[in-house]
A and B are shown apart, each in its own frame.
Chain A
């Protein structure tokens, strides 16, 4: 079975632009969570979706939004990008108690 896949792997955007990151969970996993990892720190929880509904939101501004599709894939959207949004964005899927992560999308805002 394929693991969690994320696209794109790298992305460079300009301040003020919008970005969409994509995630496909492991087959059979209905829960998808998004995390932001700034260099030198641990991942920080952004969103969790289960069965297309938002089930949890971390301490992030409204510029961050997400959604989950009927096939359980997910998108993370960030509007009005700031330099501080530069980070590794990780997607995780889970079925029971263990979360499995994708390789991440490295976003650089210039």
Chain B
């Protein structure tokens, strides 16, 4: 299965702490994208990392990709209560044009004050 698997399934931290989520997969990919979802609403695109990249940053977000281990991680630094959401990794193993993404089951992040 191409499906990504996020780990942990749920994570609870205090505001100001860092949160790390991992995504593992089984097949070759063109790129991997991370999304945030608040309370079952739409998905917000966070960051895309291509298969030839190892690390990308965007604000408080840092994403790494290890294609040899078929894994990616999303680090949120200095977390805030507003970061409380579900986070999904999405694999693009098709054309690389986001036409067909395969999602994992997500990590539910709870940030408490």
A binding-site residues for B, Cβ under 8 Å:
4, 31, 33, 35, 37, 39-45, 48, 50, 55-56, 58, 88, 90, 92, 94, 96-104, 106
**Interface of A: prevailing SS:** strand
Q: Is the CB of A96 within 8 A of B101?
A: no
Enumerate chain A residues within 8 angstroms of B94, measured Cβ to Cβ. Answer: 56
Q: How far is the CA of A58 from the CA of B101 in the complex (A)?
A: 11
Enumerate chain B residues within 8 angstroms of A104, measured Cβ to Cβ. Answer: 40-42
Q: Is the CB of A101 within 8 A of B97?
A: no
Q: How far is the CB of A4 from chain B (nearest CB, A)?
A: 8
Q: Is the CB of B99 within 8 A of A31?
A: yes
Q: How far is the CA of A58 from the CA of B3 in the complex (A)?
A: 13
Q: Is the CB of A101 within 8 A of B100?
A: no
7 closest Cβ contacts across the A-B interface? A42-B103, A99-B98, A94-B98, A103-B42, A101-B43, A48-B99, A101-B42
Query: What is the size category of the interface that chain B forms with chain A?
Result: 20 to 34
B binding-site residues for A, Cβ under 8 Å:
3, 30-31, 33, 35, 40-45, 48, 50, 88, 90, 92, 94, 96-106
Enumerate chain B residues within 8 angstroms of A101, measured Cβ to Cβ. Answer: 35, 42-45
Question: What would 11 more interface pairs be, CB under 8 Å, given A48-B100, A94-B99, A102-B42?
Answer: A33-B99, A33-B100, A41-B105, A45-B102, A92-B101, A96-B98, A98-B98, A99-B45, A100-B45, A101-B45, A103-B42
Closest chain A residue to B102 by CB distance?
Answer: A45
Q: How far is the CA of A43 from the CA of B106 in the complex (A)?
A: 10
Q: Is the CB of A42 within 8 A of B45?
A: no
Q: How far is the CA of A39 from the CA of B50 in the complex (A)?
A: 29
Q: Is the CB of A39 within 8 A of B40?
A: yes
